[in-house]
Structure 1
Amino acid sequence: MPKVSVIIPAYNAEKTIRETIETVRQQTFPDWEIIIINDGSKDKTLEIVASIEDERIKVFSYENSGLSMARNRGISKANGEYIALLDADDLWTPDKLELQLLAFNNNPQAGVAYSWTYFMDVDEQGKVTSLHPSNPYAFAGNVYENLLISDFIHSGSNTLILKQAIDTVGEFDPTLKSCEDWDYWLRLATRWHFVVVPKHQIYYRRSPNSMSSKVEIMKAAALMSIDKAYQAAPPNLQHLKSLTMTNFHKYCASLYLQHRPDFDGINQAQQHLRSAISIQPQTLLDKVTQKLILKLLLQRVFPKQVSQYLMQKIRQPAASNSGLKL
């Protein structure tokens, strides 16, 4: 039986699936299986997967049912002691599994290991246009309160989860069309300790077309997740909701500024920033808020191409230090 089951849901992933599979095959820890859930793909996803000769890869095909259901199906097929989730367009550093398993060995009470993330923006041709690292969060142990405030794990491609921990919290919520990861991490955090690998090991790919069409969906799902989270939160943590809502509005402003830089999107970003500042005026002292205000002003003052160029220059230094080679 493999130590780790890597679950890759795939829907029309022909442009990225080979590279994503290779990022697993290049892991320094070799005792794994890949379970690919073909979620009703209509392109060449299956052909590409079939062309990769590796007996550790298993493929199961279903009608399209969405990301949460695909993950649930993958978990049901998994044989590993640990479950690693990986979206079909994301990447890992070669030492991702090795270091997360080491973190488990050093923290036997933990049920979830996570690392830091690179946000990798790509153009329509798949070329990397910008790469910037997530904040170096070091929350460990009981992280429920930290997660309630914001999803510092950032993507479903990040965590390595003890199968025993998954068995205690059940499946991903298929009614959520976005933010299903955050909902799941919160449920795990109510029962299990988390451990962090202090290294950027996940490359989270964001393409302009896919993101721009999902902004409204992501915003609505985030609100649903917040309501669900605070319905389950104990009374002594209800006061944190104002901070969560501040982070929600900053999150929405960021989505609009980056993926909807049209007149309506800029107006939406401005409204969300105003809401964040109204709820918590001290957020003006936060560097994230200050950067969002700067981006908003750039898009208000300069033509679209100029503002996008300037924002890319602001983010550019991270890419040169990442070691990413594509």
Structure 2
Amino acid sequence: MPKISIIVPVYNGEKTILATIESIQKQTFFHFELIVIDDGSTDCTLELLAQICEPRMKVISYENGGLPVARNRGIANAIGEFITFIDADDLWTSDKLELQLAALQQHPEADVVYSWTLFLNEAGTSFHQSEPIYFQGNILPQLLLKNFIASGSNVMIRKQAIASVGYFDPTLRSCEDWDYWLRLAAKCAFAVVPKYQIIYRQSTTAMSSKVEVMEKHLLIVHERGFRLASPELQFLKNQSLANIYEFLAHLCLSYIPGNTGAKQAYQKLRQAIILYPLVLLSKRTQVLLTKTGLLLLSPISENILQKIKILRAKKVESINT
């Protein structure tokens, strides 16, 4: 029986699915099953998958149900002791499975492990690093403030823990991963692999680019999370909301061009500051305010900021895949 079940939900992933599967095949831990859930793809995804020679892989096709449903279908078909997920446009470093499994074996009290994330640009040519995070054990307070796990392509979970919290919520069209991690954190201890192992591909067509949809679901998940939390943690609620609006401001600047994006970012930042004035001490908030101010003052600033972003990005060749 395979030790680990890897679940890959895919919908119209012809541009990236082969690279994702290749990063799985390069893993230094070999005893896994690879379950690809085709969520009703209408492009060449299935044809590409059929060309892959991989005895550990099985492809199961369903009518389109959305990402949470696809992950749930993968869980229902998994037989491994541990379960992990990777979206069809993301990548792992070659030691991801090995080190995460070792962390759970070294911490038998933990049911979930996560690693650090690299954010890859859409073209796959450069990346930025997430902030190093070391939270372990009861991480619910920190996870209520921010989804530092970053994506659904990160964690490894003991199957018995999944049995205790159930499946992903199929009614959520965004932020379903943060919702699930919060539900796990309310019941389970977490471990961390302090290494960049998750390569998350940022896309202009991803759900994070649909700011209104993201805002709606972030607020839903935020409210649910604090219903899980003890009375002692309720004081974090406004700070958590401020972090959400700061993140939304970042999305506005990233995905809505020019003066329109800047105006919307300003409104989000204003809301964050009203909710939690100490957010002004955050370097991230200060940077966002500076960018927003420059864009509102001069359209030329957009080109300057874009060039600075390109200069600060790291070349993708330095990622150990």
Per the shorter chain, which TM-score range?
Answer: over 0.9
Unaligned runs of 5+ in 2: none
* Structure 1 residue 6 corresponds to structure 2 residue 6: yes
- Distance in 1 of aligned mates of 2:208 and 2:73: 28
Partner of 1:49: 49
- Distance in 2 of aligned mates of 1:177 and 1:25: 30
Alpha-carbon deviation of 1:147?
Answer: 0.7
> Out of 188, 201, 219, which is 1:223 matched to?
219
**Is residue 7–residue 84 contact of structure 2 (8 Å, CA) maintained in 1?**
yes
Partner of 2:171: 175
* Structure 1 residue 91 corresponds to structure 2 residue 91: yes
> Out of 266, 269, 282, which is 2:265 matched to?
269
Which aligned pairs between 1:53-72 and structure 2 lie closer than 5 A?
A: 53-72=53-72
**Is residue 208–residue 214 contact of structure 2 (8 Å, CA) maintained in 1?**
no
**Is residue 261–residue 299 contact of structure 1 (8 Å, CA) maintained in 2?**
no
SS in 2 for 1:161: strand
SS in 1 for 2:205: helix
SS in 2 for 1:114: strand
Partner of 2:77: 77
Partner of 1:34: 34
* Structure 1 residue 307 corresponds to structure 2 residue 302: yes
- Distance in 1 of aligned mates of 2:234 and 2:60: 42
Alpha-carbon deviation of 1:31?
Answer: 0.9
How many residue pairs get aligned? The number is 321
Alpha-carbon deviation of 1:195?
Answer: 0.5
Q: Percent identity?
A: 50
Alpha-carbon deviation of 1:244?
Answer: 0.6
> Out of 307, 318, 324, which is 2:319 matched to?
324
Per-residue CA deviations over 1:259-294 (Å, capped at 9, x if unaligned) read 112433221110010111122222111111112112
SS in 1 for 2:319: coil
- Distance in 1 of aligned mates of 2:49 and 2:317: 28
Out of 67-76 and 285-294, give the one that drifted further.
Answer: 285-294
Unaligned runs of 5+ in 1: none
> Out of 183, 186, 191, which is 2:187 matched to?
191
Partner of 1:255: 251
Alpha-carbon deviation of 1:318?
Answer: 4.8
**Is residue 130–residue 316 contact of structure 1 (8 Å, CA) maintained in 2?**
no
Paired residue type of 1:254: H
* Structure 1 residue 246 corresponds to structure 2 residue 245: no
Paired residue type of 2:318: G
Which aligned pairs between 1:99-114 and structure 2 lie closer than 5 A?
A: 99-114=99-114
- Distance in 2 of aligned mates of 1:315 and 1:65: 37
SS in 2 for 1:208: coil
Partner of 2:152: 156
- Distance in 1 of aligned mates of 2:183 and 2:307: 36
Paired residue type of 1:61: S
- Distance in 1 of aligned mates of 2:75 and 2:225: 23
CA spacing shift, 1:185–1:210, aligned 2, 3 Å: closer
SS in 1 for 2:234: helix
SS in 2 for 1:191: coil
**Is residue 165–residue 192 contact of structure 1 (8 Å, CA) maintained in 2?**
yes
Alpha-carbon deviation of 1:120?
Answer: 1.2
Paired residue type of 2:319: L
Paired residue type of 1:323: S
Partner of 2:289: 293
Aligned residues: CA RMSD: 1.8
**Is residue 117–residue 204 contact of structure 1 (8 Å, CA) maintained in 2?**
yes
SS in 2 for 1:172: coil
Which aligned pairs between 1:99-138 and structure 2 lie closer than 5 A?
A: 99-122=99-122, 127-128=123-124, 130-138=126-134
Paired residue type of 2:204: P
> Out of 136, 144, 147, which is 2:143 matched to?
147
- TM-score by length of structure 1 reads 0.93
Alpha-carbon deviation of 1:232?
Answer: 2.6
- Distance in 2 of aligned mates of 1:211 and 1:134: 19
